A and B are shown apart, each in its own frame.
Chain A
Amino acid sequence: MTTRKIQSACAVLLLVAAIYSCDSLIPEAPAESDLLDGPTEGLSTSEQSRFLKGDIAFNDEVFTPESGLGPVFVANSCGSCHAGDGKGHPFTTLTRFGQTQPNIAPDVSIGGPQLQNRAIPGFEPETIPNGVPSMDFTPPAVTGLGFLEALTDPQILDNADPNDSDGDGISGVPNYINPPSYFIPKPFHQPVGGQYIGRFGKKAAAIDLLHQTVGAYNQDMGVTSTFNPIDPHTGLSTDPEVSDQIIRDVVFYLQTLKAPIQRDADDPEVIRGKEVFMSINCSSCHVPSFTTPQSDIDALSNKTIFPYSDLLLHDMGPGLDDGATEGSAETFEWRTPPLWGLGLAPESQGGEFFLMHDGRAKSIQEAIELHGGEAQQSRDEFVALSDADKQALLKFLRSL
């Protein structure tokens, strides 16, 4: 065999080896339970296609002044606030103001209900008038929201106890919200005086995911739509800057993002931690599970989910009273945040914890210790736990 033939054979072998080893060269995928993003199981191919469109609109579409950003805004894309669909970072914390009493509409004449603290070049951002109370909201994780939206009003009201009739010190009330004009109630919605139960947001001010999404486009990005054509800078109507289809794609994406998956559920310390969680009555508000009813989306139907939330408002004490509010909530009332995905928060918050509604808590323990009001008793019992039980509880929470 000539040298040239040997050289050629070696070159061909090298190429073949390189191509056939392709898959072994690709980085391994993280475990599914370590990721918040991804579709829920059981979507049809057409639903997966819709999910993909929504995924692109949510995570990849960046608004510029030319495509409708602002002129005043908080963030320029959905993904800016919800990296990896997880909890947000103080970088994109948003500020609400203008309403200081329940059921009194926010004063839009002073710029409410939301502060647009950024502006495109050549424009000035909003400022809050002196002396006006405000509240900061760190963006929440957006996974599993479709399951929460699928729950019926009676399921939520089952955990409500406005007058604390059972005497456990925990009340729990819904935030009743005036619906936007485009809201179409489902059969399970139960209006009271024309208002509907809010489920999403720190104060539960959004009734469903369309309400939440339209509000985010408008108030967070300054992007108008046919659903809400009012430009937050001028207060005047303008042409839609995002299409109905894109908004509906994003809503479908949010509806069909998977629920966070617990990790290390069989770890004895995690099991012990859950027992402690139940024993000190954290579960009175952070209700562990629900089962969804039949939904328009089959993949969301009849599923037992573990959000660790009752979606109701609770008095959290004066330490968490920011003096501002939304809907029928008191200024000291906050919706119980779902705890699912809590352990993965640092994966989307730049390696740190920024917990509570405004990110003021830098650890889970600090967040627990900031609980007051109806949660004061559970907080005090946590502080009094043995170190072993305390660590077990924290490990359980990190497993969620």
Chain B
Amino acid sequence: MKKLIITLFIGLLAQQLIAQVDQSLLKDDRSDSLENGMNMDALSNRVYATSSSPVSIGGYLEADYKYIGEDGLTDGHTFRIPRVTLFITSSISSRIKFMSEFEFEEGGEEIAIEFAAMDVNFHPLLNLRGGVVVNPIGAFNQNHDGPKWEFVDRPIAMTQMLPATWSNVGFGLYGKMYQQDWAFGYEAYLTNGFDNSITTNTENRTFLPASKNNKERFEESSNGEPLFTGKIAVRNQNIGELGLSYMGGIYNTHEDDGLILDEPRRLDVFAVDFNTELPFSDTYIIGEWAWVFVDVPNTFTQQYGEKQSGGFLDIVQPVIDKSMFGFDDAVFNVALRLESVDWNVGTFNETGGNIGDEIWAVVPGISFRPTYQTVFRLNYRYQEQTDILGNPPAKTSGIEIGFATYF
């Protein structure tokens, strides 16, 4: 896999240098201005190191330092490089694009194709996308680039309940339309889906991200049943953006080689997301909440819940917006994240008492952006997590310092 990606990278770079290209392609033909941009554009409106040629190359790097402890115990000082991501985009013609994102996680221990799709533009309201697509569930899944966020950690609900970044092989349509201050967008895809591991995994809870370990999902569906993901979003330039999304389908391998192994079981996910910038204070607010419904056999353990819910709210307030440290357009922000997840919404069959398995966190922080593409972040995290029985919570807190930058 490593060799393939390096070869692809060098090949594309060489192609760019040779520059035997249609000169009409040597321009950024993104149809949307940033003002008109919606969350769904996160994958196509990225920052690239080279963007005025048919092939654009870019990416981002995240690195951090943590000192976190739980109930008086700490693993000490930890330095991490959670991910390096490489983007490669190619304009095949003025209306056909190839876009991709390769992620190197944990220092290269894991390499993943997060996004590798061809877009064909027939009409602003009708675009075909196929390949490895990023399922448009919620907002964070598509808008997950580290440099865009003021917090070292990704939202727990979006990565430990929803499986961000969740991408899969499939095809679909998307489109946008504008009317004065209003923008409307939609996306609809059919892709390969989840598998049995979401309810039988070592996390000991219903855990959608468990399916990400199944590398075969890029080769074949676990059950021959497509996963539908759809989203509609509306944006008003003066108010903000609201998105409603759904992802669902049969998740389990219920039949194999003509033999019935189990009954077909559904997974349904609903999400609502919004973002706005308050005009009187430039306060940026973004949030997302999602609900997960999974058909778990009632003869299986309640350790694996049938319902989950969780989300986050980020509030970012620029406080200094002027030349700092020699950077002309530097911005210093204060920020606050509130987040919670309930991995098992329901009551015990045996007692009628509430099932725990919940977490909430408060993350105040400051960030410094010397340029739009780069952010330095200092966060303090405090969180409490209860086990499935609702016993006294484990208290976790500490500091996280890091940076993220597009390149």
Asked if A and B are interacting partners, one says yes
B365 to chain A, nearest CB (A): 11
Q: How long is the Cα–Cα vector from A129 to B262 in the complex, in angstroms?
A: 25
A116 to chain B, nearest CB (A): 10
Q: Is B202 an interface residue (CB 8 A)?
A: yes
Q: Is A192 an interface residue (CB 8 A)?
A: no
Q: CB distance A351 to B391 under 8 Å? A: yes
Q: How long is the Cα–Cα vector from A7 to B297 in the complex, in angstroms?
A: 60
Q: A4-B326, A27-B69 are in contact. Are A15 and B391 (CB under 8 A)?
A: no
Q: CB distance B69 to A350 under 8 Å? A: no
Q: A18-B401, A91-B389, A351-B390 are in contact. Are A28 and B326 (CB under 8 A)?
A: no
Instruction: Please pick, from A26, A89, A118, the residue contacting B389 in the complex, using a CB distance under 8 A.
Output: A89
Q: Is B336 an interface residue (CB 8 A)?
A: no
Q: CB distance B378 to A14 under 8 Å? A: yes
Contacts of B388 in A (CB 8 A): 80, 83, 91
Closest A residue by C-beta to B399: A18
Contacts of B200 in A (CB 8 A): 64-66, 69, 120-121
* Residues 1-24 of A at the B interface (beta carbon under 8 Å): 4, 7-8, 11, 14-15, 18-19, 21-22
Q: Which one of B102-110, B162-170, B275-283, B298-306 is at the interface? A: B298-306
How many B residues face the partner with a CB closer than 8 A?
A: 50
Q: CB distance A125 to B351 under 8 Å? A: no
Contacts of A118 in B (CB 8 A): 299-301
Q: Is B71 an interface residue (CB 8 A)?
A: yes
Q: Looking at A8, A14, A350, which has the most chain B CB atoms within 10 Å of its CB?
A: A350
Q: How long is the Cα–Cα vector from A307 to B362 in the complex, in angstroms?
A: 42
Q: CB distance B398 to A347 under 8 Å? A: no
A206 to chain B, nearest CB (A): 24
Contacts of B74 in A (CB 8 A): 26
Q: Is B395 an interface residue (CB 8 A)?
A: yes
Q: How long is the Cα–Cα vector from A296 to B392 in the complex, in angstroms?
A: 35
Q: A26-B397, A29-B71 are in contact. Are A352 and B353 (CB under 8 A)?
A: yes
Instruction: Please pick, from B199, B348, B398, the residue contacting A90 in the complex, using a CB distance under 8 A.
Output: B348
Q: Looking at B74, B325, B389, which has the most chain A CB atoms within 10 Å of its CB?
A: B389
Q: Is B159 an interface residue (CB 8 A)?
A: no
Q: CB distance B325 to A121 under 8 Å? A: no
Q: How long is the Cα–Cα vector from A15 to B378 in the complex, in angstroms?
A: 8
Q: How long is the Cα–Cα vector from A9 to B22 in the complex, in angstroms?
A: 51
Contacts of B387 in A (CB 8 A): 83
Q: CB distance A76 to B356 under 8 Å? A: no
Instruction: Fill in one digit per residue for A174-208: 1 if any B CB lies within 8 Å of its CB, else 0.
Output: 00000000000000000000000000000000000
Instruction: Please pick, from B197, B299, B398, B401, the residue contacting A26 in the complex, using a CB distance under 8 A.
Output: B398
Q: How long is the Cα–Cα vector from A350 to B262 in the complex, in angstroms?
A: 33
Q: Is A119 an interface residue (CB 8 A)?
A: yes
Q: CB distance A26 to B204 under 8 Å? A: no
Contacts of A123 in B (CB 8 A): 299
Q: How long is the Cα–Cα vector from A29 to B72 in the complex, in angstroms?
A: 4
Contacts of B73 in A (CB 8 A): 29
Q: CB distance B398 to A93 under 8 Å? A: no
Q: How long is the Cα–Cα vector from A84 to B203 in the complex, in angstroms?
A: 17
Q: CB distance A27 to B72 under 8 Å? A: yes
Q: How long is the Cα–Cα vector from A18 to B152 in the complex, in angstroms?
A: 15
* Residues 183-211 of B at the A interface (beta carbon under 8 Å): 196-197, 199-204
Q: Is A167 an interface residue (CB 8 A)?
A: no
Q: Is B219 an interface residue (CB 8 A)?
A: no
Contacts of B396 in A (CB 8 A): 27
Contacts of A27 in B (CB 8 A): 69-72, 395-397
Q: CB distance B67 to A76 under 8 Å? A: no
Q: CB distance B395 to A64 under 8 Å? A: no
Q: CB distance B71 to A75 under 8 Å? A: no
Q: Looking at A25, A30, A66, A67, which has the most chain B CB atoms within 10 Å of its CB?
A: A25
Contacts of A271 in B (CB 8 A): none
Contacts of B397 in A (CB 8 A): 25-27
Contacts of A69 in B (CB 8 A): 200
Q: A62-B202, A64-B200, A83-B389 are in contact. Are A121 and B395 (CB under 8 A)?
A: no
Q: A18-B378, A18-B401, A26-B69 are in contact. Are A62 and B203 (CB under 8 A)?
A: yes
Instruction: Fill in one digit per residue for B250-285: 1 if any A CB lies within 8 Å of its CB, else 0.
Output: 001000000001100100000000000000000000
Contacts of B71 in A (CB 8 A): 27-30
Instruction: Fill in one digit per residue for A202-222: 1 if any B CB lies within 8 Å of its CB, else 0.
Output: 000000000000000000000
Q: Is B181 an interface residue (CB 8 A)?
A: no
Q: How long is the Cα–Cα vector from A27 to B265 in the complex, in angstroms?
A: 42
Closest B residue by C-beta to A69: B200
Contacts of A351 in B (CB 8 A): 390-392
Instruction: Fill in one digit per residue for A337-371: 1 if any B CB lies within 8 Å of its CB, else 0.
Output: 00000000001111110000000000000000000
Instruction: Please pick, from B67, B299, B389, the residue contacting A349 in the complex, using a CB distance under 8 A.
Output: B389
Given contacts A69-B200, A83-B387, 18 further A-B contacts (CB under 8 A): A11-B368, A25-B399, A26-B68, A26-B397, A64-B197, A64-B202, A65-B196, A75-B301, A77-B204, A80-B301, A83-B388, A84-B391, A91-B351, A118-B300, A121-B297, A125-B299, A348-B389, A350-B389
A–B Cβ pairs within 8 angstroms, 5 of them: A26-B67, A77-B204, A90-B351, A118-B299, A348-B391
Q: Which 6 A-B pairs have the closest CB atoms?
A: A29-B72, A26-B69, A350-B389, A27-B395, A122-B262, A90-B350
Seen from chain B, the residues whose Cβ lies within 8 Å of a Cβ on chain A are 67-74, 77, 196-197, 199-204, 252, 261-262, 265, 297, 299-303, 324-326, 348, 350-351, 353, 356, 368, 378, 380, 387-392, 395-399, 401
